[in-house]
Amino acid sequence: MPDVAGESRRFETVLLDAGGVLLDLDYAYLRRLLEARRQEVTEEALARAEAIARTAVDRHVRDGGSSGEAWRDYFRILFGQAGTPRALHEEMIDALWEAHQRVGLWTVPVPGALPVVSRLREMGLRLGVVSNAEGRVERDLESAGFAGLLDTVVDSHLVGVEKPDPRIFGIALERLKASASTALFLGDVPAIDVAGARAAGIAALLLDRHDLYGAVDAPRISHLEELPGWLETAQAAS
């Protein structure tokens, strides 16, 4: 299985992003927020709109910005894609920021995430999360059922550095006593996750759940459930 250098690797460590990989935005909460303002949007439509909004974050980081700076634009695009009147956007974004600080917004396990992570543990892999977050991602993961399944969680707010800076990946590797040469990172935003992992010397795999990054030069999977099989194929080829 090719890595950043086009060579085969045997993976001993798997690092994962949190939002969009292990945890989804709470679309039911967004739907209720919109319904309270007489806007009818399905959770499926919100999920698609959210994926498109992430491409804007990807562009923003690729142009030299940080992911945190893109918060308001991310939600403006999400609500715009969902057909919500622009006049409602700023007030809803303020409500979402308050809710995120209080209880978190990325709190729902991605379909299949819990059994996949359990399977990775059964495969004997070291497991960690590397997330651009606001200080509560470990609590959100534990509340979603991941308690005891992850060996470390690196939250950018708590360590003072965020992806794509390779130093945040180095923190995870140091905690796990792992080597970059035998590590894989799975993320869903190329400019943050693929670029950051590769800068740290870690092989990168892109989770492209909505087929939005066809032009990106990176190995990819469409569903998280594909990850164990992808790794088994990589191990067999090494």
Concatenated DSSP letters for 99-125? HHHHT-SEEEEPTTHHHHHHHHHHTT-
Residue 9 pLDDT > 80:
no
Mean pLDDT of 185-199: 97
Per-residue pLDDT at 65: 78
Shared domain check, 115 and 98: no
Q: What's the chain's Rg over C-alpha atoms?
A: 17
pLDDT at 169: 98
Q: Give the C-alpha separation, 165 to 84, whole Å.
A: 34
Closest residue by Cα to residue 189 from 229, 216, 225: 216
Q: How confident is the model at residue 101 (pLDDT cuts 50, 70, 90)?
A: confident
| Cα distance between residue 64 and residue 52, in whole Å | 19
Look at residues 103, 125, 150 and tell me which one is the last residue of a structural domain: 103
Specify whether 152 is located in the same domain as 190.
yes
| pLDDT category of residue 151 using cuts at 50, 70 and 90 | very high
Measured CA to CA, the distance from residue 139 to residue 124 in angstroms comes to 24
Burial, 16: exposed, middle or buried (Cβ in 10 Å; 0-12, 13-18, 19+)?
buried
- pLDDT for position 6: 40
pLDDT exceeds 90 at position 226 = yes
According to DSSP H, which parts of the chain are helical?
A: 27-35, 43-62, 71-81, 89-102, 113-122, 137-141, 156-159, 166-176, 195-199, 227-237
Q: What is the pLDDT averaged over residues 131-158?
A: 96
Q: Are residues 59 and 145 in the same domain?
A: no
Report whether the peptide linkage leading into residue 164 is cis, meaning its omega lies within 30 degrees of zero.
yes
Looking at residue 238, its pLDDT comes to 64
In a domain, 4, yes or no: no
Between CA 26 and CA 175 the distance in angstroms is: 30
If pLDDT is split at 50, 70 and 90, which confidence band does 3 have? very low
Residue-wise pLDDT for 40-58, tens only, equals 999 999 999 999 998 988 8
Contact 88, 79 (CB under 8 A): yes
Domain that holds residue 183: 13-22+108-237
Across 50-54, 65-69, 163-167, 172-176, least confident range: 65-69
Angstrom CA distances, 198 to 1, 81, 135, 183, 184, stand at 15, 31, 25, 11, 10
Q: What is the pLDDT of residue 102?
A: 84
How far, in Å, are 103, 123, 223, 231 from residue 209 at the CA level? Answer: 26, 24, 6, 18
The percentage of residues in the chain with a pLDDT greater than 70, rounded to a whole number, is 96
Shared domain check, 170 and 66: no
- How sure is the predictor about 8, in pLDDT bands with cuts at 50, 70 and 90? low
In the chain, the percentage of residues whose pLDDT exceeds 90 is 80
Residues 222 and 207 in one domain: yes
Q: How many whole angstroms separate alpha carbon 84 and alpha carbon 130?
A: 32
Which residue, of 62, 88, 103, is where some domain finishes? 103
The residue assigned the tokens 């409602």 is 88
Long-range contacts of residues 116-124, Cβ cutoff 8 Å, at least 24 apart: 116/224, 116/225, 116/227, 116/228, 117/16, 117/22, 117/146, 117/149, 117/150, 118/149, 119/228, 120/14, 120/227, 120/228, 120/231, 121/149, 123/228, 123/231, 123/232
Can you give the CATH number for the domain in which 216 is found?
3.40.50.1000
Least confidently predicted of 99-108, 140-149, 155-164: 99-108
